[in-house]
Structure 1
Amino acid sequence: MCGQNVCPNTHEPPDPPAPGTLVVDTGHGDRVGEFRGVAGPYWSLRPLGGGTEWEAEPRRVRPALLMEQLRAKIARMNARSRGEVL
């Protein structure tokens, strides 16, 4: 017999999105990143404008909403116009 708090979590991790898909890492303050690939049990994400990749738990990653995608893209364009990124 399996109690509510006794059975292990049998949910499978979500399928990884296509490379380049914008996602939100809820485990790192709702940080928006570009999906790069799978690294062991983690997903590799990268800031939209480039930079250091980080690893996220797949269960804490969700697709970025349109507003989040636009916000990240505009932030990238603004940083580029200020000469902060190429």
Structure 2
Amino acid sequence: MVTMTAPTPDADGHTVSPDAGALVVDRRSGKVGVVMGHVGTYVQLRPPRGGREWDVPPEDVRTPTPTEELSAKVAAANRRWGR
């Protein structure tokens, strides 16, 4: 299940990496990804439909827009139904 949470700043204003399962957007490429985990200082993302993971610095992830979020949910549902 894809949860729709986003990175949040901590008390010092630093970006806190999102939890596994969060849906975020890579600011550098504009691609939507699901957080799979963290490696070193990077967040690992994977496309909602599955595929190859890529690494993103936590400061380069953002909350998806409602349109991006809906598109990712549809892509994940289509994958479940084999479309």
Shared fold by TM > 0.5? yes
Paired residue for 1:70? Answer: 70
Partner amino acid, structure 2, of 1:60: D
Q: In 2, distance between residues paired with 1:77 and 1:61?
A: 23
Q: Is the 8 A contact 2:48 2:75 kept in 1?
A: no
Q: Is the 8 A contact 1:24 1:64 kept in 2?
A: yes
Q: In 2, distance between residues paired with 1:19 and 1:79?
A: 19
Q: Is the 8 A contact 1:27 1:57 kept in 2?
A: no
Return the TM-score normalized by structure 1: 0.68
Bigger Cα Rg: 1
Paired residue for 1:25? Answer: 26
Q: Kindly state the Cα deviation for residue 27 of structure 1 after the two structures are TM-superposed.
A: 1.1
Q: In 2, distance between residues paired with 1:78 and 1:46?
A: 16
Q: Kindly state the Cα deviation for residue 76 of structure 1 after the two structures are TM-superposed.
A: 3.8
Q: In 2, distance between residues paired with 1:51 and 1:40?
A: 21
Q: Is the 8 A contact 1:22 1:34 kept in 2?
A: yes
SS of corresponding position for 1:27: coil
- Coordinate RMSD, CA, aligned: 2.2
Q: In 2, distance between residues paired with 1:26 and 1:46?
A: 14
Question: Which structure 1 residue ranges, 4+ long, deviate > 2 Å from structure 2?
Answer: 75-81
Return the TM-score normalized by structure 2: 0.70
Q: Percent identity?
A: 40
Q: Deviations over 1:31-50 (max 9, x none)?
A: 00001111112110011111
Partner amino acid, structure 2, of 1:48: P
Corresponding pairs, count: 72
Structure 2: gaps spanning 5 or more residues: 1-11
